[in-house]
Structure 1
């Protein structure tokens, strides 16, 4: 026996559907098609709010002051460089992608190099998924700070069980150590071999030298962290189209697609920077930290070794 298929706009008799439905919620709409799924008809900025949890990652930029952390982020997001220096208290950015039919959200936390509040730094580490550790090749103290950061991240993340990142945790914590200002070769005090030796100590950790001023290896630095984090490489600037935040997938014209590279046509990846984005509240981050600080490898009796915010 067939069944009626109801829709807000029309209804029709379907004699081929003989199986009964247990309730009306199971009955698909007759005018539905895969091309009409809500996600593809939503603006890209809205898709970021509905992205799967495993596709929502936070990249934390850490390092001493005046090493170029903000300049690296500016190059990555806008391909711009400002030679002036303004101390960063904390900047938060968000980029939304649609890659091969899936929505991705990348939050970038550009931290202060002064870190007057150690508890805030620990909170940034606990809530972070990916890490760029930046030093300047002409500053020994900034490299020593990266060494301390590597150890702090490893200690904290080893003790903390991350519920939303299991696919990466088994391969180690994604970290890229960036030796910035490689254009200042005459002032170099850190040999690349020192940084290489540091990254070899930790699993899933890589090293690269870059220059935000000369735009050297900026994209490669981020591509490496995406690769280590098991994220699509199309998140790199040259591998996706830059679109308006309210762009709707499928709205691009064939003419606009002719200039796309073969790799970009295959994935049809696009991305946008979220405007006027605000950092999640400290309370929200504390809730995330609370979920992530449930130890798995450490005995509950050994509470003194737990990763906590103090």
Structure 2
């Protein structure tokens, strides 16, 4: 009899444990649509349960109060994040090659007409990287290193307008004609660089100039040669004793619509005129040249942009400033190709891809 009683007691204990486990399971089997209704931040449309969900999940639960404290904390955290997103509003807009794209870290909204892509081309070792460094506000680098960073972005605030200049050094695409041609087609202005002590580098610039003209003409489907926005730099003018390319040779080979400057990235000779010409060709203010604005960090630049939103005045009160966006990365070749195909489609839809 004692054994029977103990067996009955153990059976009752097991039944109680089973009931407790079932209650615990039921407590956490909350309806998915009920949870999503709690997630809805501003009274949007309630979420409709997916038909593939099991009936146990789809059934309406009378209360959600059985949710554990940990689960409620998780839900409140998610709802708080959504509230922060609602307060921030839409993401800022940034322009890439004339197309406005969404960018989470962009500090200011930039109009498409204020965006410019400069493509830098030329033979290796002629000083392209140092010219780009000068534009970015960096110092001249004496030792030669193979270009590793091929894309740079500089943001400006001049008056009440924001501007964006992308510099693409296509040196690594020298042996890839299709990639180089795609970079040419997406460029707005071209900076061609050769060394005055290297006749072969000058011959390469002449070939590049012809390639740019042909590619742009095919893109717009024009019978006349396209008018180009090109600046040619004969760099290393400080090495006058080793000079092998004369000014007369350059003027004979270049067309009249091509601006030519003899520069020195080391001494800074004529760099102000080069950058001023690039700004004029792109419709940018002269204050975008390095000597006409103050270079600040991205943190300072972003704070200035955010400060201007909370009042009626703009950054027009401040002096012209600029910042280098170190987080900027070159748009993918796929997006560049879509941009080129979209531009060529406006010109009566060419029969084949324009980079071929």
If the length of structure 1 is used for normalisation, what is the TM-score? 0.70
Cα contact 1:160–1:294 (8 A) shared by 2: no
Structure 1 unpaired stretches of 5+: 1-37, 40-44, 163-169, 253-264
Cα contact 1:88–1:111 (8 A) shared by 2: no
Could you tell me which residue of structure 2 aligns to residue 117 of structure 1?
176
Instruction: Tell me if 1:178 matches 2:238.
Output: no
Could you tell me which residue of structure 1 aligns to residue 142 of structure 2?
83
Distance (Å, rounded) in 1 between the aligned partners of 2:107 and 2:174: 34
SS in 1 for 2:298: coil
Structure-2 change in CA distance of 1:74 and 1:155 (3 Å): same
Kindly report the root-mean-square deviation, in angstroms, between the aligned alpha carbons of the 2 structures.
2.9
SS in 2 for 1:46: coil
Q: CA deviation at 1:135?
A: 0.2
Cα contact 2:107–2:305 (8 A) shared by 1: no
Cα contact 2:126–2:194 (8 A) shared by 1: yes
Distance (Å, rounded) in 2 between the aligned partners of 1:139 and 1:215: 20
Distance (Å, rounded) in 2 between the aligned partners of 1:146 and 1:294: 30
Count of matched residue positions in the alignment of Structure 1 and Structure 2: 242
Distance (Å, rounded) in 1 between the aligned partners of 2:331 and 2:305: 27
Could you tell me which residue of structure 2 aligns to residue 12 of structure 1?
none
Could you tell me which residue of structure 1 aligns to residue 204 of structure 2?
145
Could you tell me which residue of structure 2 aligns to residue 215 of structure 1?
268
Q: CA deviation at 1:81?
A: 1.1
Larger radius of gyration: 2
2:294 to 241, 256, 261: 241
Structure 2 unpaired stretches of 5+: 1-91, 94-104, 309-315
Cα contact 1:58–1:107 (8 A) shared by 2: yes
Q: CA deviation at 1:267?
A: 8.0
Could you tell me which residue of structure 2 aligns to residue 69 of structure 1?
128
Distance (Å, rounded) in 2 between the aligned partners of 1:267 and 1:143: 43
Distance (Å, rounded) in 2 between the aligned partners of 1:224 and 1:290: 29
Distance (Å, rounded) in 1 between the aligned partners of 2:170 and 2:149: 5
Could you tell me which residue of structure 1 aligns to residue 52 of structure 2?
none
Could you tell me which residue of structure 2 aligns to residue 188 of structure 1?
243
* Aligned structure 1 segments of 4 or more residues deviating by more than 3 angstroms: 249-252, 265-268
Cα contact 1:244–1:272 (8 A) shared by 2: yes
Distance (Å, rounded) in 2 between the aligned partners of 1:97 and 1:149: 30
Distance (Å, rounded) in 1 between the aligned partners of 2:210 and 2:128: 19
Could you tell me which residue of structure 2 aligns to residue 20 of structure 1?
none
More RCO (CA 8 Å, sep 6+)? 1
Could you tell me which residue of structure 2 aligns to residue 230 of structure 1?
283
Query: Comparing both structures, which one devotes a greater share of its residues to helix?
Result: 2
Cα contact 2:341–2:353 (8 A) shared by 1: no
Q: CA deviation at 1:219?
A: 2.5
Instruction: Tell me if 1:46 matches 2:106.
Output: yes
Deviation per CA, 1:49-92: give whole Å up to 9, x if none.
x3111111100100001101001111221231111111225510
Distance (Å, rounded) in 2 between the aligned partners of 1:90 and 1:206: 26
1:272 to 315, 323, 326: 323
